[in-house]
Amino acid sequence: MSHPLSLITFLSLLFHFSTVAATTIGVTYMSSPGLPPPEEVVIILQSLKITAVRLPVADPNIIRAFSYTNISLFLSIPNSLIPSISANRSAASRWLYDHVIPFYPRAHITAISVGTNVLAEGDVTSADRVIPAIHNIHRSLIDMGIRQIMISTTFSFVNIMTTSFPPSSAEFQEPASNFIIKPLLDYLTETNSSFFVSLYPYSVYKLRPEIPIGFALFQEHAFNFREDTITGVRYRNLFDLMVDAVIAAMAVAGHENIPVVVAETGWPNFDPSNAVEARDVYSKMYLQGLVNHLRSGKGTPLRKEGVAEVYIYELFDTNDTATKGLKSDGTGQKWGFCYPNMSMKFEVGFCNGGSTMTVSAVKVVTEFLLLAIGLLISC
């Protein structure tokens, strides 16, 4: 077995690009029956130099596949488990015994989101239980001697913000602000954790026809800016403007220094309700523009170091029961940038300015690695 390992090490050195990355760039990955097994997905992610993965469905077999890789994992606990976990410490421990303890630290789990988008469900009682559920997961982890995993919950930008124009006037919506966001911010400060938010310039762009598409797609043109009318700060892209709206709202709530993790962002390449902007060419522009912007290390006007992590939505088109993604009948939006055969729908370089391997090089390397592993194992 030493041969395939040294071969992989050699190839990863060969394709190593020394880039200074302020922000960790990851992808959202969900498995489904027509998709390759997680072991193969891990190899393609490594060849793309993707170092972080968000698993909305924390399947133990998938978590296991990331053992001994340098890819960090962001796990989510389903909303349906929040009532039992909030009521019962042993339910919290049980989830950790199934999803974390068998794999940690060989699988580099760095974050757990207790629920996703709970405010979108309009059920205030289940949202009410998020904070106690977070505390129970936190205490159980501490009892198990694990202190390095961040625990939080993921909000969706549109469900928590009053306005994003101008960003300096943004605040969190009531009643959510008082009953869930503020207690969460106190907890995040105490535990050095981060604020997780899903942020879609695509949705804001669709709602506000006056926004130029180039502003949403990171196209730098002389006229592609919006000025914050209160602070006079100029924004060159919608992503930064939305991030700063979140940071301004946190500051109003008394917590301006909490790191921000963008749990989801992306641009659909197919949307039955929008044949104009939901296309490969725009999806590629958004993703490459995002990566280049994050890699530039410029941060945002309100946060020089930028956001801590960003997870691109998503690796493959999946049947997501939420508001976006393919519906179970096979219709709906497509956000994935890879086909099920693991070739990319369009080229995106995750290192810097598209200077990474080309699609065909990725495929050749992947096929070669799989072949080499297969050959050496069969010997």
Ligand X SMILES: *[C@@H]1O[C@H](CO)[C@@H](O)[C@H](O)[C@H]1NC(C)=O
- Residues in contact with ligand X by CB under 6 A are 32, 34, 70, 87-88, 90-91, 94, 191-192, 317-319, 326, 328, 330, 339, 341, 343
CB of residue 126 vs ligand X: minimum separation in angstroms?
A: 17
CB of residue 234 vs ligand X: minimum separation in angstroms?
A: 33
Cβ proximity to ligand X: between 61 and 192 the closer is 192
**Could you give the C-alpha distances from 308 to 7, 40, 193, 257, in angstroms and in order?**
32, 27, 11, 12
* DSSP 8-state secondary structure symbol assigned to residue 287: H
Cβ proximity to ligand X: between 231 and 319 the closer is 319
Query: Who's near 142: CB < 8 A, 6+ residues apart?
Result: none
State yes or no: cis peptide before 174, omega within 30 of 0: no
Cβ proximity to ligand X: between 105 and 175 the closer is 105
CA distance linking residue 169 with residue 249, whole number of Å: 8
Q: What is the Cβ-side half-sphere exposure of residue 175, based on CA atoms within 13 angstroms?
A: 7
| DSSP string covering 65-125 | HTTTSS-EEEEEE-GGGHHHHHH-HHHHHHHHHHHTTTTTTTSEEEEEEEEESGGGGT-HH
Cβ proximity to ligand X: between 230 and 361 the closer is 361
Query: Residue 295 in contact with residue 18, Cβ under 8 Å?
Result: no
CB of residue 277 vs ligand X: minimum separation in angstroms?
A: 22
Cβ proximity to ligand X: between 220 and 367 the closer is 367
Cβ proximity to ligand X: between 122 and 330 the closer is 330
Query: Residue 83 in contact with residue 126, Cβ under 8 Å?
Result: yes
Cβ proximity to ligand X: between 70 and 178 the closer is 70
CB of residue 201 vs ligand X: minimum separation in angstroms?
A: 24
CB of residue 327 vs ligand X: minimum separation in angstroms?
A: 8
CB of residue 116 vs ligand X: minimum separation in angstroms?
A: 19
Beta strand residue intervals within the chain, DSSP E: 24-28, 52-55, 72-77, 108-116, 150-156, 195-198, 226-227, 234-235, 260-265, 309-312
